[in-house]
C-alpha cells in the first residue's frame, strides 16, 4: 500500500518556557492509503493534538509530518492553507457547519474555495449528500437537521475536496447510538468502496470496534499499534 502520511520524531510541547506540557512525545507513525485507523487513549493522551499536527492546524515543536512526500512543517502559512484545502478533509466533534448556509451550500463551500466549475460542484454535492442519506435535505439549514444529520453533512463536506485522507476528531461524541452507527456505516462504506483513508481520534468503543488499526496513546507516546487484519 502507498504511504501517504509519515510522522517522524514528532513532538509538541506547550508552555516550554514556563510549565512545559509534553502533549506529543517523539512519535513515529506511518499511515497508508485506504486505512481505517483509530487513535485512542485517555483524556490528555495527545490524540487531538496529534490530529491537529497532522492537519497543519497546530505547529510541532520538532519532528516531521510528511504528506505525499511534502513536509508540511516547512511550509509558510499561506502554502499550508492551500495544501490543507487541496489534500485534507476534516470532521470535527462540533460539526462546524456554517449556520446561514444550507446543507448543499455547506458542502459546496470548499469547492468554491478550490475554484471548481459550477457543474462539477452541483453534481458532486448532490452525489455526496445522497451517499450520506441526505439527498432529500439539500436545502435544509443546520438548525433544521438533527445532530446525526449535521455530522453527515460534515462528512460530505470533508469529502467534497477529494482529499487524500480524512481526519475525524471525536466524530461520534455528540451522537446517540443510532446516529453514531449510521455515520460509521457511511464512513466504512466510503473507505471500502472508494478507498478513502480515515484517521480518527476517539474515546468511542463503537469506532474502535470498526477500525482495522488501533493506535493507543499514553502521555503523548504510542503505547501500542495493533492491526486487526
User: Is 201's pLDDT higher than 80?
Assistant: yes
> Is 189 in contact with 136 (CB distance < 8 Å)?
no
Cα distance between residue 192 and residue 187, in whole Å: 9
Better-predicted residue by pLDDT, 228 or 35: 35
Rounded to a whole number, what is the largest CA-CA distance in the chain? Answer: 54
User: Is 25's pLDDT higher than 90?
Assistant: yes
> Is 115 in contact with 158 (CB distance < 8 Å)?
no
Strand, helix or coil for residue 214: strand
User: pLDDT tens across 120-152, in order?
Assistant: 999 999 998 998 889 999 999 999 999 989 989
CATH classification for the domain delimited by 3-227, as one of 3.40.1390.40, 3.40.50.150, 3.40.50.300, 3.90.550.10: 3.40.50.300
User: pLDDT tens across 177-194, in order?
Assistant: 888 888 899 889 889 888
Q: What is the pLDDT of residue 199?
A: 96
User: pLDDT tens across 48-74, in order?
Assistant: 999 999 999 999 999 999 998 999 999
Q: What DSSP assignment string belongs to 109-168?
A: HHHHHTT--HHHHHHHHHHHHHHTT-TT-TT--GGGS-HHHHHHHHHHHHHHT--SEEEE
Burial class (CB in 10 A: 0-12, 13-18, 19+), 8: middle
User: pLDDT tens across 78-109, in order?
Assistant: 999 999 988 999 988 888 899 999 999 999 99
Strand, helix or coil for residue 120: helix
Looking at every residue in the chain, the average pLDDT score rounds to 91
Amino acid at each position: 500500500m502507498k504511504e501517504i502520511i509519515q510522522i517522524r520524531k514528532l513532538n509538541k510541547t506547550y508552555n516550554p518556557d514556563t510549565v512545559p506540557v509534553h502533549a506529543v512525545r517523539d512519535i513515529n507513525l506511518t499511515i497508508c492509503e485506504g486505512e481505517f485507523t483509530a487513535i485512542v487513549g485517555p483524556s490528555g493522551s495527545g490524540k487531538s493534538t496529534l490530529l491537529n499536527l497532522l492537519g497543519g492546524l497546530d505547529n510541532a515543536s520538532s519532528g516531521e509530518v510528511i504528506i505525499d512526500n511534502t513536509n508540511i512543517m516547512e511550509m509558510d502559512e499561506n502554502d499550508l492553507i492551500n495544501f490543507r484545502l487541496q489534500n485534507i478533509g476534516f470532521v470535527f466533534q462540533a460539526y462546524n457547519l456554517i449556520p446561514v448556509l444550507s446543507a448543499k451550500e455547506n458542502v459546496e463551500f470548499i469547492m468554491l474555495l478550490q475554484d471548481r466549475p459550477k457543474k462539477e460542484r452541483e453534481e458532486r454535492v448532490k452525489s455526496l449528500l445522497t451517499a450520506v442519506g441526505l439527498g432529500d435535505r439539500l436545502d435544509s439549514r443546520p438548525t433544521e437537521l438533527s445532530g446525526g444529520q449535521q455530522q453527515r453533512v460534515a462528512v460530505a463536506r470533508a469529502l467534497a475536496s477529494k482529499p487524500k485522507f480524512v481526519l475525524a476528531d471525536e466524530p461520534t461524541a455528540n451522537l446517540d447510538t443510532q446516529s453514531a452507527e449510521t455515520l460509521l456505516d457511511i464512513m466504512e462504506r466510503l473507505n471500502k468502496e472508494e478507498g478513502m483513508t480515515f484517521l480518527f481520534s476517539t474515546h468511542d468503543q463503537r469506532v474502535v470496534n470498526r477500525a482495522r488499526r488501533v493506535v493507543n496513546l499514553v502521555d503523548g507516546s504510542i503505547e501500542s499499534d495493533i492491526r486487526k487484519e
